[in-house]
Amino acid sequence: MLKHWIWLTTREGIGTRGCAALLRLYGSAEEIYARDESAYRKTEGFERRWLRSLSDKSLEGAEEILSLCEQKQISILTYADSAYPQRLKNIADPPAVLYYKGTVPDFDREAVIAVVGSRRCTPYGMMHAKQFGRLIANSGGVVISGGARGIDTMALRGALESTMPVVCVLGCGVDVAYPRENKALFEQIAAHGCVLSEFPPETPPEARNFPVRNRLLSGLSLGVLVVEAPNRSGALITANLALEQGRDVFAVPGNIGVKACEGSNRLIREGASMVEDGWEVLREYSCRFPGKLEDGRSKDAMRRIFQARYGLALPVYTPVVFSDTPDKKVVDNPAPKPYSDEKELPANLSEDEKAVLALLSDKAVHSDTLVAESGLPAQRVTAALTLLQIKQLVLKLAGNYYQRKF
């Protein structure tokens, strides 16, 4: 039962490596919970320092966490679940429980690339982080990163400009927006992929959590790309963990003499693969994922990837850049009018897609207005808009404005 898995991960003094060792000894959290002191002592390989913590069989704390997850619509994935990534099971200390919002992709069947870097980055680093994130995703890869300011944020924003799932791993509870200014970004990611953490809901972003979190970034990935990092940074910790886990390490060359680039340049000197664009990272894995990866700088390549993945001969949505300031008429009159065109809608639309599409016309409408008018949660409206863009029924404009395409 879920409460037994949560009970196991909340035992003081055991930690992730201890939980992994106990699972190897007993097979499941239920079996660990069912043993008494005598059975523990008789087990070869059992460490006596675990005894006091495991002897506390109270499930009250676990039930409180389960209740929080239900209230906040947080899903739980355990080590025993079939959807748990085999790639993560192969590291030395896989988490026994993962909490997430959104939809977990099939990590083992995707070319997952972790993009990491410094919080205190340069404009050069921010620009390349977004470009790499966008091209990796447009080329068929899955971008995963932390939710920190700087490189992480820009890589995730770039990856969201594609049809591929995006994953963010937090060093706090998935219900905690840290940094606070990324709250909307995390909601977008949950609608396009998932936000996940091994920490229970309401866990604060304590400094000790982030090195622990970094092993998940590398563990879920085929390779780690360091965009920009000084000599002492969490990005270099992730790169070192990647090497320990047998993952590839890539680095973007930085400006000489700039402290923010010293660590990433050192990685290149020590043998990391130097890359200049996202496709140089992904092409290393193209033979392992036939039909899934292709140079995303070509629109034809993106269409082929889309057709291979989704079975639809539709062009991939390409963003159209407009002025950041919407037309004055849009500001003065943002409320949408139900579209009156008699054209027949595609048969494969969900109820959410139909509800959102009905509120759109050839006039630009802000996403906040669609949420207010539809009565649907923001995440469901965002998800519906994304699918409608993929189906070429809706056009996204600058500033989160949308309009109907027919």
Look at 124-133, 194-203, 254-263 and tell me which has the smallest mean pLDDT. 254-263
pLDDT of residue 386: 79
Residue 339 has pLDDT above 60, yes or no: no
Residue 312 has pLDDT above 70, yes or no: no
Query: Which pLDDT tens digit goes with each residue over 47-63?
Result: 999 999 999 999 999 99
The token duo for 252 is 């973007």
The token duo for 364 is 């630009």
Residue 322 has pLDDT above 80, yes or no: no
C-alpha angle 268-273-276 in degrees, rounded to nearest 5:
95
| Residue pair 6/97 in contact by the 8 Å Cβ criterion | yes
Q: Which residues pair with 241 in a beta bridge?
A: none
| Residue pair 230/259 in contact by the 8 Å Cβ criterion | yes
The token duo for 292 is 């899934």
| Residue pair 229/263 in contact by the 8 Å Cβ criterion | yes
pLDDT of residue 399: 66
pLDDT of residue 380: 83
pLDDT of residue 338: 42
Residue 268 has pLDDT above 60, yes or no: yes
Confidence of residue 337 (pLDDT cuts 50, 70, 90): very low
Residue 116 has pLDDT above 50, yes or no: yes
Confidence of residue 398 (pLDDT cuts 50, 70, 90): low
Residue 211 has pLDDT above 50, yes or no: yes
Mean pLDDT of 337-357: 67
Find the largest Cα–Cα distance for the chain: 77
The token duo for 262 is 């010293």
Which H or E run contains 281?
helix 278-282
Residue type, 179: P
Give burial (CB, 10 Å; 0-12/13-18/19+) of 17.
Answer: exposed
CA dist 81 → 14, 96, 158, 213 (Å): 22, 10, 31, 21
Mean pLDDT of 85-109: 96
Strand pairing of 248-251 and 223-226?
Answer: parallel
Which of 151-160, 364-373, 397-406 has the highest mean predicted lDDT (pLDDT)?
Answer: 151-160
- Mean pLDDT rounded to a whole number for the chain: 88
pTM: 0.77
CA dist 344 → 312, 340, 354, 361, 406 (Å): 19, 11, 12, 15, 11
CA atoms within 13 A on the CB side of 141: 38
Domains belonging to the chain, first-starting first, are 2-102 (1.10.150), 108-285 (3.40.50.450), 328-404 (1.10.10.10)
pLDDT of residue 375: 84
pLDDT of residue 340: 41
Give 233 or 190, the one with higher predicted confidence. Answer: 190
Instruction: Give the distance from CA 49 to its chain's centroid.
Output: 36
The token duo for 253 is 């060359």
Instruction: Work out the percent of the chain whose per-residue pLDDT is above 90.
Output: 68
Edge-first strand listing for the sheet containing 401-404: 365-366, 401-404, 394-397
Mean pLDDT of 205-222: 95
What single-letter DSSP state applies at residue 33? H
3-state secondary structure 304-321: HHHHHHHCCCCCCCCCCC
Query: Which pLDDT tens digit goes with each residue over 1-23?
Result: 899 999 999 999 999 999 999 99
Distance in angstroms (rounded) separating the CA atoms of residues 36 and 243: 39
Instruction: Work out the percent of the chain whose per-residue pLDDT is above 70.
Output: 90
What are φ and ψ of residue 151, in 5° steps? -60, -45
Mean pLDDT of 141-155: 96
